[in-house]
């Protein structure tokens, strides 16, 4: 009996061990399965035909006729003298000498698309579609609806920076599209574009959202990228989701590629629609910082893992008044995380001047919350240009090249410095040479630039600079750099070789 009981207990133990191992192997196998997606509705095509049928009547063709004297429009994102030739029709702009005009006068005819957003005839389009409109009596803006009727249009409001305009025709009870929201869009979602490419009215194309947050310049616009075919004449037309909601305004193409188009996210348009309807200049918030992405060098130097580095703080502006310091890391705006300088610019510019925002700050290993009242972007930019125009380039002499005792600056970091001439307005040291194969060159350090701070410590002369470099102990240098006239400023993180 004892033997039987002993054998039974042994067998039970072996079985339990076997089941445990089997469970462990099964769990491990489950963890190593490839990523898959459960296909829902894969047997059904997206309702593109229904979207096209119902939304086509809300899309209009716009023709802009103006008389100009050698005037060419610079697109706010792309620029270029041949912008109209670059983007839209119908059939591209047609320009010819006006028989009544002077020697330099030209008759410019350009076209684009638009989408009706109210039954009273409000139409969203691109700023560059109506850009050449002026006060001349000969200038005209004509809108043609899907039923073939033509209307004269007036401009209610426009925002060059976002490349958006709101125009109106004298009509009522029109079919109109609903403005959706674009913030929650996912890459890969189906979209439909409707417009008038090359004058071919009400052309429908389909595709997906290829990417979000695309930057075409350094301004406030952050574009949706789509592979839905967009061509000349599509500018100003709607980009629609499968519910028939407008989620973007088509604005640009990449002529070097195929089916690489861009649209202004409708969420950005929704934030300024009241300003456009009122005809007042668009109010856009301004923080007054120079942002930089938090790359690995900054992460190592500042101990932060996510956010945007404050490279510069404009004295007397919103960030300065709120207590933001250079080399702070902004991790969130009103609780919304920001992971790149583009996200920070978008978050701030989406607010109005005078709005209050809460900034989450990482500083010296601690998290702070600062409250900033935003300034007016346009007013501050104009002031900055005036201030910049008052600066003058100053020529200074060169002293003897300085050396950091105990640290070979050129060998460790790849650049050399000299003391500034005492007659200069700036205090600091001037960069005299940069090894093109060094990290310093990769990050933009160049001869002639002036180093005025190391970390947060001002360096008024070569001795103070040497002391701060020695104090860094061969680790990443955080240098506050200015142009020789002090008009341009930036912080650079220079890692050792």
Give the three-class secondary structure for 456.
coil
Phi, psi of 61 (to 5 degrees): -100, 135
Both tokens of residue 212?
């979000």
List the one residue out of 158, 294, 271, 257 whose CA is nearest residue 222. Answer: 271
- Compute the residue count for the chain: 497
Using an 8 Å Cβ cutoff, are 361 and 333 in contact?
no
**Count of Cβ atoms closer than 10 Å to residue 129 Cβ:** 28
Using an 8 Å Cβ cutoff, are 419 and 429 in contact?
yes
- Between the CA of residue 269 and those of 18, 38, 99, 251, 468, what are the distances in Å? 63, 35, 40, 13, 48
Task: Give the residue numbers marked as catalytic.
Answer: 128, 163, 235
How far apart (Å, rounded) are the C-alpha atoms in residues 65 and 63?
6
List the one residue out of 178, 185, 179 whose CA is nearest residue 223. Answer: 185
Burial 442-461 (b: 16+ CB within 10 A, else e): ebebeeebbbbbbbeeebee
How far apart (Å, rounded) are the C-alpha atoms in residues 482 and 420?
13
Q: How far apart are the first and last CA of the chain?
A: 78
Give the three-class secondary structure for 433.
strand
Using an 8 Å Cβ cutoff, are 121 and 113 in contact?
no
How far apart (Å, rounded) are the C-alpha atoms in residues 33 and 35?
7
**Taking the CA atoms of the chain, what radius of gyration do you get in angstroms?**
30
Using an 8 Å Cβ cutoff, are 313 and 327 in contact?
no
């Amino acid at each position: 009996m004892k033997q039987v009981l002993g054998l039974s207990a042994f067998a039970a133990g072996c079985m339990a061990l076997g089941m445990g191992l089997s469970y462990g192997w099964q769990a491990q196998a489950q963890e190593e399965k490839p990523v898959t997606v459960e296909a829902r509705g894969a047997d059904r095509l997206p309702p593109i035909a229904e979207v096209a049928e119902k939304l086509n009547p809300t899309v209009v063709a716009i023709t802009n006729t103006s008389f100009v004297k050698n005037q060419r429009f610079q697109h706010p994102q792309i620029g270029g003298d041949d912008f109209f030739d670059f983007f839209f029709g119908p059939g591209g702009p047609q320009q010819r000498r006006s028989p009544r005009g002077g020697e330099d006068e030209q008759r410019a005819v350009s076209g684009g698309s638009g989408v009706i957003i109210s039954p009273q005839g409000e139409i969203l389009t691109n700023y560059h579609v109506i850009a050449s409109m002026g006060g001349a009596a000969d200038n005209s803006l004509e809108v043609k609806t899907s039923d073939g009727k033509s209307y004269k249009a007036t401009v209610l409001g426009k925002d060059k920076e976002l490349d958006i305009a709101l125009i109106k025709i004298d009509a009522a009870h029109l079919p109109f599209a609903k403005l959706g929201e674009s913030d929650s869009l996912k890459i890969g979602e189906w979209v439909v574009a409707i417009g008038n490419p090359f004058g071919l009215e009400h052309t429908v194309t389909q595709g997906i959202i290829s990417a979000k947050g695309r930057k075409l310049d350094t301004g406030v616009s952050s574009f949706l990228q789509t592979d839905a075919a967009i061509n000349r004449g599509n500018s100003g037309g709607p980009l629609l989701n499968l519910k028939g909601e407008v989620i973007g305004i088509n604005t640009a193409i990449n002529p070097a590629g195929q089916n690489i188009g861009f649209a202004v996210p409708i969420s950005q348009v929704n934030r300024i629609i009241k300003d456009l309807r009122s005809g007042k200049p668009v109010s856009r918030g301004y923080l007054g910082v120079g942002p930089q992405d938090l790359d690995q060098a900054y992460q190592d130097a500042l101990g932060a893992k996510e956010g945007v580095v404050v490279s510069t703080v404009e004295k007397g502006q919103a960030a300065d008044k709120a207590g933001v310091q250079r080399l702070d890391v902004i991790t969130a705006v009103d609780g919304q995380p920001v992971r790149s300088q583009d996200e920070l610019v978008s978050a701030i510019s989406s607010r109005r001047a005078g709005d209050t925002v809460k900034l989450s700050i990482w500083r010296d290993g601690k998290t702070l919350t600062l409250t900033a009242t935003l300034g007016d972007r346009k007013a501050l930019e104009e002031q900055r240009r005036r201030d910049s125009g008052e600066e003058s380039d100053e020529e200074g002499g060169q002293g003897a090249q300085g050396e950091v005792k105990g640290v070979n600056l050129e060998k460790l970091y790849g650049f050399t410095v000299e003391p500034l001439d005492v007659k200069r307005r700036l205090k600091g040291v001037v960069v005299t040479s940069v090894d093109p194969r060094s990290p310093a060159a990769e990050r933009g350090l160049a001869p002639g630039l002036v180093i005025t701070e190391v970390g947060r410590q001002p360096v008024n002369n070569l001795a103070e600079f040497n002391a701060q470099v020695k104090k860094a102990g061969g680790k990443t240098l955080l240098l506050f750099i200015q142009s020789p006239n002090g008009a341009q400023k930036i912080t650079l993180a220079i890692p050792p070789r």
